[in-house]
Structure 1
Amino acid sequence: MNSGTKEAPLASLNGARNTIRAHKITSSKRQSYTVIVENGNYTMKEPFELAPEDSGTEKFPITYKAAKNAAPVFSGGKTITGFSVNEKGIWEVKITESVYYKWQFDQLYVNGKRAVLARTPNEGFLEIDSVQQNIWEKGNSRVAKKAQQKLFFEKDMFESLSPITEDEVREVRFKAYHKWDYTLRHIDALDKDSLLITTSGKGMKPWNQIKKGGRIVFENYKAALDTPGEWFLSKKGILYYVPRPNETLENTTVVAPVLEQLVLIKGNALQDNYVKNIHFEGLNFEYCHYEIPKTGSEPNQAAAILNAAIYAEGVKNITFSNCEISKTGQHALWFGKGCSNSLVENTYMHDLGGGGVYLGDFKPLKGKEHTHHININNNIIQSGGLEFPPAVGVWVGHSSDNKVTHNDIGNFYYTGVSVGWVWGYKPSLAKRNTIAYNHIHHIGWDLLSDMAGIYTLGESEGTRIENNVIHDIHAYSYGGWGMYADEGSTGIVFKNNLVYHTKTGGFQQNYGKENIVKNNILAYAKRYQLQCNIPEKHESFAFTNNIVIFNEGMVLKGGWNDVIARIDQNIYWNSNGKKYDFNGHTFKNWQKKEFDLHSLLVNPNFKDPLNADFRFINKKNYTKINFIPFDYSKSGVYGDNEWVEKAKLPISVTQNFDNTVQENMKLKK
């Protein structure tokens, strides 16, 4: 075994860790350790695991870093070789491990690009005609413990499923999209005469069921393998792939992810046995597998049941800087229970099956197991939810005093940043979180509903959402807000945010208490500029000193007639010159309800708002409502030009988003 010097380097991170462990035992003096990783691609045969004995100290930390000008890559994948081309032009190879050891994988990458598991339809969705549920075991909650669902289809919709053979049925999966979530299940049986499939698992959630007209896709059967970029692995261990244009056997690399976790940092907070003072710098991690359970994946908001490629628990002062995490089947990075005083900065997370960074736990863990003071700063978190669409860019569960700042979060299907994990007014530990100076954009597409750029839940006193730029937020049907204070959101300040190009409003509050919405620019929502759902007997929010500009849709929609709120000193401007609809009221009648008594219907005099230039030509009107201009150009990532340019989504993605929005708006959903 090599000693770990430059002349005799170690072969793996685990080898370096073991060398440091051994040296600590024999060394009489305390010292820092730096593991320098030279350029190269390193295949990981097992996760890199760190325990309390691998800790550094505040004065003498342990650092794992890339060599100067190097970008080492740690891969949890296996390269698949030996393909041949069959008579249909499809590539195929028999994988020995799959034949003899039943190795299966649920993601595949070709030339670094995520391939598509064979599916039907290739574009869009099939439509469900009707759904029947048989409850087998009710259990103690509103959701039945065990149940069977029967999904019926019209004949033309069912046709694409008819080639499924009897021995394939139980390998076939479906993905049904409903409201803010989706159901991923295997099929129990397929009845070609009755045009139905049966599946079983938990009962459907009464508040979010699969229904008639619901959208669904089917995957993982050979007959669906009919489009370039699709793949299928048979039970006999034969991998099939339909090549994309210009892909040849000679110029193509195929990688199947193997490891389900790449890095595991695990201490025990309850026993004061933390992993501490370890830094990662300039390391790239890729190809991390997520195995779809045989039970599938029941609906779960924010895809919070997934694991993460890099998972930490019971840690203090752990940092990731200038790293990269990509090509995952699950979330990129999760600071679970008992984590504190840690940092993720200048890190690029992309091509993610799940979300970006998750903080805290689902349960309100107090004391030593409570996660707090994590700083997520200046990261690019893009193109996520590719396997699990409900995943989010940054998720803050029962966790407090975190800072999520200057990140670029884009191209997700559900929500950019989610804060809080309590529905209603039950105890919440998501307090004093700061979500500031982020650029959150191109979220939602037309896949899920009830979503937002920034989403909050529960009592979150001291939480501040400020100086963010949020734009291009769209939903399949209802929802698609810039900032969304959902059930029980309390004590949150929404200030100095620029929100534009949303579907149903710059701000929406379902119900909550004593939130402050102040000094924001809310522009060009398509249907409603502001929404409010459930009036309560306490003050729901204050909406003051804001500028609302639009050229279509209503000003207000929802429960405004009975809401208890302080609404005043705002500017509303309809740039197309048409009427102002305040939830069915004219502005004059709206003011008779004691709202907006000192507000104005005047042009705020932005330079070029239709082209997202919200600087002011003059101060003539905004000073009348005591609006204070803020520099929204400071939002998003900062640093050298290469880093700033990397945060820009490809034009093909943004154009596709725009086209998707246009088509969705024609549906009148």
Structure 2
Amino acid sequence: MFQFHVAPSGDDSWPGSAERPFATLDRARAAAREAGGDAVVHLKGGVHTLARPLELTGADSGITFQAYGYGTPEQEEPVISGGRVITGWQERDGVWVAEVGELDSRQLYVDGRRAERAALPGLPGEVRVTATGYVTGGGEPLGWRSPADVEFVFRGVYPWTEARCGVAGVSGDGDETVITMAQPAFGWAGELYNSTWEGQSSSGPGLPTRIENDAAFLAEPGTFVLDRSRPGRHVLMYLPRPGEHPSRTRVVAPVLERLVSVAGARDVSFRGLVFAEATWLRPSAAEGFLHYHGTGYYEGGGVETAVIGEGASVTYPAASVTIPACVTFDATENVAIEGCRFTRLGASGLGVTGGAGLAVRRCAFDTLSGAGVEVSGSRATSIEDNRVHHVGLEFSGAPGISVSGTRDCVVAHNEVAHVPHCGIVVGSGQGARILRNLVADTMEVLADGGGVYLSGPQGDSPDNQALVQGNVIKDTHTPYNFGLYTDYGASWVTVEGNVVLRADNTAVLVVGPPLENVVYRGNFWDQDPLGHDNPPSGVTYGGNVTYKDERELNAATAGIQSEAGPRR
């Protein structure tokens, strides 16, 4: 097997040896191809800044990219970055200001910490909604310095949604201020968000719950603004926190939208690497981000209506698009991702579509705008012993781990914590195994979801049904949630030997469309699920135990709780 080395201080004209390493991953990939693909590329510690995404194809089958010294006490930490270090700061009235040319980004990281975009809690004064935006009696929007960079956030249009729409312009009209919203986003929002509940109907996104990204909003230390009002002469502004100084503070703006793309390759491995500093610019466009559920969003094409009870309905996308990932694998076979970290990314961390035999083991996913891991249409994928926390920081519907349309997928021994909506999501598929995960502090922002959430058919017989077993789910926040949630026509599911505590509701047995061939047995809770006293015909409910006293519950389930979460 051939061995190649890459270091930030290397040179692509060198032979790629340990003593004379390459400088770039592209050069190492080319050398591995020339060697026939059976090669290991060792990455020395430090920041490996990409000029463009690393793309692997079937021609790169058999390559391993790993940290130098992987698996030894001397293992180094290579960071694969799509970011740009910001320099040339000037201080103006306590604000750091830098001209950054054509740079466009939605995130900023200061000494590794995620900086928030400067924001207001909402529109001032009396506001009314119009067909094209808003009219307010307050003149404050007229003081916005770059209105076309301002973005409105709409949290909770539906309890499980959070949309984003840009502003097109602001103008004065007598004593009123007219805010014109960007199209087609605002029009799409009017199409998508229509509901009826308890005799009350609503249409459109309503009033914004947060307004982001204008220099006039810079009041909280540690926040930033990107002003793009002058094409090619964008200005980045950052209000420092106490103790920060331009000469000793490292500020990075992510530039690339994707770091690594692997398509059609076999037997590829990534070990001990850090993937960091990428963005996703689509929500900043005129199309905005019309979120519906999870990582799905609407971009036109019409809506349909779901009746969710007598006199209750919501419209939803006839078709939706998924938030992309910054590291993607498509139609691959026998791929291993081990001991890696996905952090400081402006979309989801890891996205897998199609293929078979991909394993994600002992990785960390944190500080992500989107989901941690998203798998769609794959066979025999395993996601085990990973830690996923503080994800969905910008797109609050994003779950920790999501699998959909998969066959024989295993999600086991993971720890998922501090997520804004669902912890683990399982869409329609066959034979999913959700085993011995520790899921805590979910549903921290949006409502109507669960620590572990399943929807749709999960098989068509006992031979390929889903099994949800040995999971510990605790501290599910916000109202109207279910720690363990089988929803929307879930069928062929066995829910067995799980522990649920400190949720708004532990589980629910009566949903629409109804559950079919769903078994709840041997579970432990601190309250009875909704519908337990009269289970519907499609649910078998028995042998479950409710402990009102948490100490008794913990004592009775000590064995289950000790087995849940990563095995290290």
Q: The TM-score by the shorter chain falls in which range? A: 0.7 to 0.9
User: Given residue 259 of structure 2, which amino acid in structure 1 is its aligned partner?
Assistant: L
1:246 Cα shift? Answer: 1.7
- For structure 2, the residue ranges without an aligned partner over 5 or more in a row are 1-12, 70-74, 197-201, 297-321, 460-464
User: Given residue 493 of structure 2, which amino acid in structure 1 is its aligned partner?
Assistant: I
Deviations 1:278-309 (Å, cap 9, x if unpaired)? Answer: 11111111101111333111123112321111
What SS does the corresponding residue of 1:21 show, helix, strand or coil? helix
CA contact (8 A) 1:177 1:214 kept: no
Deviations 1:503-554 (Å, cap 9, x if unpaired)? Answer: 2334454232121111111126xxxx42359x99x7231221112234xxxx
Question: Is 1:188–2:168 an aligned residue pair?
Answer: yes
CA contact (8 A) 2:142 2:177 kept: no
User: Given residue 302 of structure 1, which amino acid in structure 2 is its aligned partner?
Assistant: G
Structure 1 counterpart of 2:105: 105
Identity of aligned residues (%): 26
Question: Is 1:287–2:277 an aligned residue pair?
Answer: yes
Structure 1 counterpart of 2:87: 81
Distance 1:251 1:184, change over 3 A: same
What SS does the corresponding residue of 1:317 show, helix, strand or coil? coil
Distance 1:63 1:186, change over 3 A: same
Counterpart Cα distance in 1 of 2:546 and 2:128 = 42
Distance 1:242 1:33, change over 3 A: same
What does 1:203-352 correspond to in 2, within 5 Å? 203-207=191-195, 216-235=209-228, 236=230, 237-267=234-264, 275-291=265-281, 292=283, 293-304=285-296, 305-336=322-353, 338-352=354-368
Deviations 1:378-426 (Å, cap 9, x if unpaired)? Answer: 0011100011111011111211210000001111101001111xxxxxx
What does 1:180-579 correspond to in 2, within 5 Å? 180-190=160-170, 193-194=175-176, 197-199=179-181, 200-202=186-188, 203-207=191-195, 216-235=209-228, 236=230, 237-267=234-264, 275-291=265-281, 292=283, 293-304=285-296, 305-336=322-353, 338-360=354-376, 370-420=377-427, 428=428, 430-445=429-444, 447-461=445-459, 462-475=465-478, 477=479, 479-507=480-508, 509-510=510-511, 511-523=514-526, 529-532=528-531, 539-550=537-548
User: Given residue 294 of structure 2, which amino acid in structure 1 is its aligned partner?
Assistant: A
Question: Is 1:92–2:97 an aligned residue pair?
Answer: yes
1:41 Cα shift? Answer: 1.6
Counterpart Cα distance in 1 of 2:455 and 2:171 = 42
Q: What count of residue pairs does the alignment treat as equivalent?
A: 497
User: Given residue 309 of structure 1, which amino acid in structure 2 is its aligned partner?
Assistant: C
Structure 1 counterpart of 2:565: 636
User: Given residue 219 of structure 2, which amino acid in structure 1 is its aligned partner?
Assistant: D
CA contact (8 A) 2:400 2:419 kept: yes
Distance 1:299 1:249, change over 3 A: same
CA contact (8 A) 1:412 1:443 kept: yes
User: Given residue 436 of structure 1, which amino acid in structure 2 is its aligned partner?
Assistant: L
CA contact (8 A) 2:64 2:269 kept: yes
What SS does the corresponding residue of 2:294 show, helix, strand or coil? helix
What SS does the corresponding residue of 2:566 show, helix, strand or coil? coil
Structure 1 counterpart of 2:151: 173
User: Given residue 90 of structure 2, which amino acid in structure 1 is its aligned partner?
Assistant: S
Which gives a bigger RCO, structure 1 or 2 (Cα 8 Å, sep 6+)?
2
What SS does the corresponding residue of 1:161 show, helix, strand or coil? helix
Counterpart Cα distance in 2 of 1:18 and 1:76 = 20
Distance 1:189 1:45, change over 3 A: closer
CA contact (8 A) 1:128 1:214 kept: no
Counterpart Cα distance in 1 of 2:509 and 2:396 = 22
* Bigger CA radius of gyration: 1
Counterpart Cα distance in 1 of 2:291 and 2:44 = 43
User: Given residue 281 of structure 1, which amino acid in structure 2 is its aligned partner?
Assistant: R
CA contact (8 A) 1:120 1:160 kept: no
Deviations 1:294-336 (Å, cap 9, x if unpaired)? Answer: 3111123112321111101110001100111100000000111
CA contact (8 A) 2:90 2:96 kept: yes
What does 1:10-89 correspond to in 2, within 5 Å? 10-24=22-36, 32-56=38-62, 62-68=63-69, 69-86=75-92, 88-89=93-94
Distance 1:189 1:81, change over 3 A: closer
**Which structure shows the higher strand fraction?**
2
What SS does the corresponding residue of 1:412 show, helix, strand or coil? coil
- For structure 1, the residue ranges without an aligned partner over 5 or more in a row are 25-30, 57-61, 135-147, 268-274, 361-369, 421-427, 551-574, 576-605, 617-627, 640-669
User: Given residue 448 of structure 2, which amino acid in structure 1 is its aligned partner?
Assistant: D
CA contact (8 A) 2:334 2:356 kept: yes
Distance 1:548 1:77, change over 3 A: same
1:171 Cα shift? Answer: 1.9
CA contact (8 A) 1:174 1:217 kept: yes
**Which structure shows the higher helix fraction?**
1
Instruction: State TM-score, norm by structure 1.
Output: 0.70
1:126 Cα shift? Answer: 5.8
Distance 1:508 1:244, change over 3 A: farther
User: Given residue 3 of structure 1, which amino acid in structure 2 is its aligned partner?
Assistant: P
CA contact (8 A) 2:416 2:440 kept: yes
